Structure formats: C-alpha cells, structure tokens
C-alpha cells in the first residue's frame, strides 16, 4: 500500500496527471476487512490488528467507502464474529477524525473527507433487522448469476434471491446505500462457465434494486474480451455506468486482462473499483484456497492507473478550462487494450 501511496502522491504533484486524475475521479471501495480477511484464520487477524489495518488504510489511502466485516454465522466464517464491535469502533474512529465544526469553519484545522462504512449482510430478514439494530446505514448484499453459487451461499434458489433482494431495496428505508455484488461473472466455481445471455439478463434485473451494481469476477477468470462484450451490452441496454463497480481478483496469469479491463472501464466512465490493502482474499465458502486469486490491491491498481494516465496523448489542458474538461479524455483517451509485456519491478515512485 505504501507503493500505491507514493504513486498517488506523484500523480497529485504532477500538474497534467493531477488534472487527469481529477477528471477520472476514481471511487475506491476498500474490501480489506471483509473479502480480504474472510479466508484468514482468526488467530492471524485478531481484533486489534483489524483496527490497525483500518486506521492505516484511512491514513495512507483514504478511500471513498470501506467495508467492515459481515453479519454471517460464526460457524461459516469465524473471523467475522466481531463485526458488530468492529463496526462500532471504526464508526467512532471516523467520528473523531475531524475537528469540531467551529474549528473547521474558522479555518484553523483542515477537514478530511471520511469514508462511508458498509457491512455485508446476507439477504435474509433476520440479518437485515440486525443491521438496522446496529445502526448500519450502508449495506452490501450478495447474489450471483449462478444458481448453484446462490444456493451454496444463501440457501435460496434464484427466484427467491431475486425476490428477496428487490423487496429489501424497495421496502427497507433504513439504508442510505445498498451495494449489490453480482458474483460469478463469466465463471462459477461450482457450475463453470456462465452463458452471456444469463449474465446480461441478471444485470439488467438487479440494476433496478441497488445503488451500486458490482460486477464480481469470483474466480478471477474474466478476460478483457469477454468483459468488453458484457459492458458493451450493459451500455446498449441502458444500464447506468455510474452505478457499475468492479470487484476483480488477480495473479500473474491474468494481470494483462485485469489491466485491460481497468483501461476499458475508465474509457467507458466506469470509475468504481474494489481494492484491498491485503493481497489475499476470495470466496472461501465456495472455493478452496488453491483456486482463489488475490484481491486487486491498491499497489496494483495505482500501478495500472499511472500507466493509463501516462499513455494519454491529449493536450495539457489547463485546470481552469471547464469546456475541455468533459471532452479531453474522451477525445484523446488512451488505448483500450495493451498486449505488450510490461515489467514494473522498478519502483519508480517509491
């Protein structure tokens, strides 16, 4: 994460890169303390270490949103057993991070934008009620384009899952934001390959019942070319790209695909990305550790992002030129696809 911080600082210090970065305005959703730890032994990630991780992420990267645990049975994921306490303490940390209003207004102390906290909640009535009792105002729900995956994770069939999620969104007014993970895009660890028509059909349905539609590559098998087809169809059928986010898993095998997926997303105004400060992660409920790929980390994302920004071949648009602001990247955006080998071993911005 310190590597990502150094790249981000370099971007912010460089006028042209800073300008482009502000146009893109990436919205980063931290999943370190949920997806990043769900396959970890509780002994390796005690409560105090979670709090330290949370504080370090806020200090170094300050993401827009952060996911703090999951309200699941401790029998399924023992490491999530302290989610209630973790949410309360993290909420308190955020509350105390900024000065009193009178000091902020007086200009004596700078105000820092604090992240919105989310908790993943299984789409079940009793879990939703517990989230409300805890005062959680932003939740993540999970579904899938794969019936087998839904049954394994929620004990519901596809029709019941669709009905439950739509009811939560339409009838529950206690939540400010509902993020919906649509898992198994492209491939399911149980069923295998998923038909394109089924993927598009489910995305079109679920877009109506969430504030953020997260395309989740559960297996880390999503290719750039298949992703492009999915996104092009989503845009053709009218899905709002502002609602789309990406949850990617990566290793050396699919680095190039992930890079091109991020590039194409940025060129299509998709700017929401799930990131983790921890390299591991993945759905341990349905996949063995040998099949799981790492979460997309801050280091990898910023490594890809600065290459994208450096490849931009447009003019050095002044910061104050609002007319060109909306069109500059559109007219001169960097290529969607790169296939040349790229070795980023040298940490240029450290």
Q: Which pLDDT does position 99 carry in this prediction?
A: 58
> For residue 21, is pLDDT > 60?
yes
Confidence class for position 95, pLDDT limits 50, 70, 90: confident
Q: Which pLDDT does position 178 carry in this prediction?
A: 97
Is residue 343 assigned to a domain? Answer: no
Average pLDDT, the chain: 86
DSSP state, 250? E
Per the structure block, which two tokens stand in for 80?
């999530």
What's the structural domain count of the chain? 1
**Mean pLDDT for the stretch of residues 45-50:** 96
Is residue 97 assigned to a domain? Answer: yes
**Mean pLDDT for the stretch of residues 184-205:** 93
Is residue 344 assigned to a domain? Answer: no
Phi-psi region of 62 (alpha: psi -120 to 50; beta: other; left: phi over 0): left
pLDDT in tens, 274-284: 999 997 766 65
71 backbone dihedrals φ, ψ, rounded to 5°: -90, 75
Is residue 342 assigned to a domain? Answer: no
DSSP state, 180? E
**Residues with Cβ within 8 Å of residue 91, at least 6 apart in sequence:** 117, 135
> For residue 328, is pLDDT > 80?
no
**Mean pLDDT for the stretch of residues 207-223:** 95
DSSP state, 115? P
Structural contact between residues 275 and 30, judged by C-beta atoms closer than 8 angstroms: yes
Q: Which pLDDT does position 292 carry in this prediction?
A: 64
> For residue 333, is pLDDT > 70?
no
Is residue 172 assigned to a domain? Answer: yes
Q: Which pLDDT does position 306 carry in this prediction?
A: 94
Is residue 22 assigned to a domain? Answer: yes
Residue 307 belongs to what domain range?
A: 2-332
Q: Which pLDDT does position 187 carry in this prediction?
A: 92
> For residue 348, is pLDDT > 80?
no
> For residue 131, is pLDDT > 90?
yes
Is residue 340 assigned to a domain? Answer: no
> For residue 11, is pLDDT > 50?
yes
Greater confidence (74 vs 28) lies with 28
Does the model's pTM come out above 0.85? Answer: yes
304 backbone dihedrals φ, ψ, rounded to 5°: -70, -40
Range in 56-60, 175-179, 219-223, 315-319 with the lowest mean pLDDT: 315-319
Q: Which residue has the tokens 């790229």?
A: 342
Range in 21-25, 73-77, 137-141, 327-331 with the lowest mean pLDDT: 327-331
CATH code for the domain of 126: 3.20.20.70
- Partnered with residue 177 across adjacent β-strands are 138
pLDDT in tens, 164-180: 999 999 988 889 999 99
Greater confidence (203 vs 41) lies with 203
Is residue 339 assigned to a domain? Answer: no
DSSP state, 145? S
Q: Which pLDDT does position 297 carry in this prediction?
A: 95
pLDDT in tens, 58-91: 999 999 999 999 999 888 899 999 999 999 999 9
325 backbone dihedrals φ, ψ, rounded to 5°: -60, -45
């Amino acid at each position: 994460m310190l590597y990502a911080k150094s790249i981000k600082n370099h971007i912010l210090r460089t006028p042209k890169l800073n300008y482009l970065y502000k146009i893109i305005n990436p919205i980063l959703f931290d999943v370190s303390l949920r997806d990043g730890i769900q396959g970890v032994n509780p002994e390796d990630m005690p409560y105090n270490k979670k709090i330290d991780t949370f504080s370090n992420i806020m200090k170094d990267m300050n993401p827009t949103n952060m996911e703090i645990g999951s309200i699941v049975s401790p029998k399924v994921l023992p490491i999530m057993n302290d989610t209630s306490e973790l949410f309360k303490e993290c909420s308190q940390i955020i509350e105390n991070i900024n000065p009193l209003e009178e000091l902020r207004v007086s200009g004596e102390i700078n105000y820092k934008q604090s992240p919105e906290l989310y908790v993943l909640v299984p789409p079940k009535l009793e879990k939703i009620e517990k989230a409300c009792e805890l005062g959680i105002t932003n939740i993540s729900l999970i579904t899938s384009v794969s019936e087998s995956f839904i049954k394994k994770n929620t004990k519901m069939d596809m029709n019941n899952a669709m009905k439950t999620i739509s009811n939560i969104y339409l009838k529950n007014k206690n939540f400010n934001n509902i993020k919906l993970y649509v898992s198994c895009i492209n491939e399911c660890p149980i069923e295998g390959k998923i038909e394109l028509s089924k993927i598009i059909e489910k995305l079109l349905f679920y877009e109506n019942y969430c504030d953020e539609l997260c395309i989740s590559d559960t297996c880390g098998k999503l290719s750039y070319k298949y992703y492009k087809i999915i996104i092009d169809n989503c845009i053709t059928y009218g899905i709002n790209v502002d609602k789309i986010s990406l949850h990617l898993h990566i290793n050396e095998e699919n680095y190039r695909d992930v890079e091109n997926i991020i590039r194409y997303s940025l060129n299509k105004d998709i700017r929401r990305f799930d990131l983790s400060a921890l390299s591991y992660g993945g759905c341990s409920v349905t996949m063995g550790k040998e099949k799981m790929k790492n979460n997309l980390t801050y280091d990898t994302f910023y490594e890809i992002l600065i290459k994208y920004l450096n490849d931009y071949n447009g003019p050095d648009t002044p910061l104050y030129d609002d007319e060109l602001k909306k069109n500059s990247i559109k007219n001169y955006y960097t290529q969607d696809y790169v296939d040349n080998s790229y070795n980023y071993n040298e940490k240029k911005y450290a």
